[in-house]
Amino acid sequence: MSFGELAIASDGEMALREIERRSYILPRSFYERPTVEVARDILGKILVHGRTAGRIVEAEAYLGEQDRAAHAWHGLTPRTRVLYGPPGHAYVYFIYGMYECLNFVAEPEGVPGCVLIRALEPLAGLDLMRRRRPKARSVHELASGPGKLTQAMGITRRLNGADLTRGPLLVRALRNEPSFELGVGPRIGVRHCADWPLRFYIRGHPCVSR
DNA sequence: CAATAGATCATCT
DNA sequence: GATGATCTATTGC
């Protein structure tokens, strides 16, 4: 069964069960590595929350105190606490008075690297995603942006600090991952370090933002 | 199409 | 008090 068929057979429970049967939960060791490696390797992995699931097709690395575009540039504050915690946890923050953004904490404990999840290909629970994002005109627009994907999957700050290896927010890897062409470029929407090539995406994928 | 404005609030100076 | 890891609607070509 291809991803296309999985998405089209959008009966939430069916698609979800099929994904779980063919994948395993990413272990914490995956995240306990250099942030750039985690950002690149997270492409193609599957995010699961409730009845919804999506394949990660775009992500960005935020390095830490030497990266002016990163929240951790200011050092350890109440907000950046989870960035300094153990890897494999979610960092969810609120921005522009309206949107939530989802990150995965990388690097060993004490080192504040993280990966911003920017876009997903919807795989399960499409009906629920459409209800949460009635403005989306096509399946590709359901989760093709950092604010869109959190809306579509019902992710809020309540999940800040959640363990990605235990749920309710999970990241899974298919045992037979389809290959793809890797795209690299500068991060989107940042003023500082605007030329650093820390954005990774699946080249040619319709769900990539912009 | 591209450019722009508005919504709206947690966080840090 | 300003800013921002965004999205949408609207305007103008």
Pairing of β A46-49 and β A114-124: unpaired
Domain map (residue ranges) of chain A: 3-202
Nucleotides of strand B under 7 angstroms from a protein beta carbon: 7-13
CA A62 to chain centre: 13
> For tokens 């200011």, what's the residue?
A74
* pTM for the predicted model, two decimal places: 0.94
Instruction: Please provide the DSSP assignment of A113-148 as one string.
Output: -EEEEEEEEEEE-HHHHHHH-TT--SGGGSSSSHHH
| Beta-strand runs (E) in A31-109 | 46-49, 52-62, 90-95, 99-105
State the pLDDT confidence band at A10, using cuts at 50, 70 and 90.
low
| β-bridge mates for residue A93, sequence order | A101
Percent of chain A with pLDDT over 70: 94
Q: Report the alpha-carbon distance of residue A210 to residue A183 in Å, rounded.
A: 14
CA-to-CA separations, A20 to A15, A78, A140, A168, in angstroms, rounded: 9, 35, 23, 14
Half-sphere exposure of A119 (CA within 13 A, CB side): 20
State the pLDDT confidence band at A8, using cuts at 50, 70 and 90.
very low
State the nucleotide closest to A70 in CA–C1' terms: C5
User: Distance from residue A25 (CA) to nucleotide C10 (C1'), in Å?
Assistant: 44
CA-to-CA separations, A183 to A25, A59, A70, A89, A190, in angstroms, rounded: 25, 11, 21, 25, 19
Left if phi > 0, otherwise alpha if psi is -120 to 50, otherwise beta: which for A96? left
Token representation of residue A21:
């049967």
Tens of pLDDT, residue by residue over A133-188, are: 999 999 999 999 999 999 999 999 999 999 999 989 999 999 999 999 999 999 99
> For tokens 């960005």, what's the residue?
A60
Q: Report the alpha-carbon distance of residue A174 to residue A176 in Å, rounded.
A: 5
Question: Nucleotide B13: nearest residue by CA–C1'?
Answer: A74
Q: What is the pLDDT of residue A94?
A: 97
User: Distance from residue A210 (CA) to nucleotide C6 (C1'), in Å?
Assistant: 12
Question: Nucleotide B11: nearest residue by CA–C1'?
Answer: A79
User: Distance from residue A183 (CA) to nucleotide B13 (C1'), in Å?
Assistant: 37
Q: Inform me whether the pLDDT recorded for A12 exceeds 90.
A: no
User: Distance from residue A210 (CA) to nucleotide B1 (C1'), in Å?
Assistant: 14
Q: Inform me whether the pLDDT recorded for A3 exceeds 90.
A: no
Q: What is the pLDDT of residue A139?
A: 95
State the pLDDT confidence band at A1, using cuts at 50, 70 and 90.
very low
> If DSSP codes are grouped into helix, strand and coil, which group holds residue A90?
strand
> For tokens 């809306």, what's the residue?
A151
Question: Nucleotide C7: nearest residue by CA–C1'?
Answer: A147
Q: Inform me whether the pLDDT recorded for A7 exceeds 60.
A: no
The answer to whether A100 and A156 are in contact (CB under 8 A) is yes
Topology, domain A3-202? 3-methyladenine DNA Glycosylase; Chain A (3.10.300)
Rg for chain A (alpha carbons), in Å?
Answer: 16
Tens of pLDDT, residue by residue over A54-71, are: 999 999 999 999 999 999
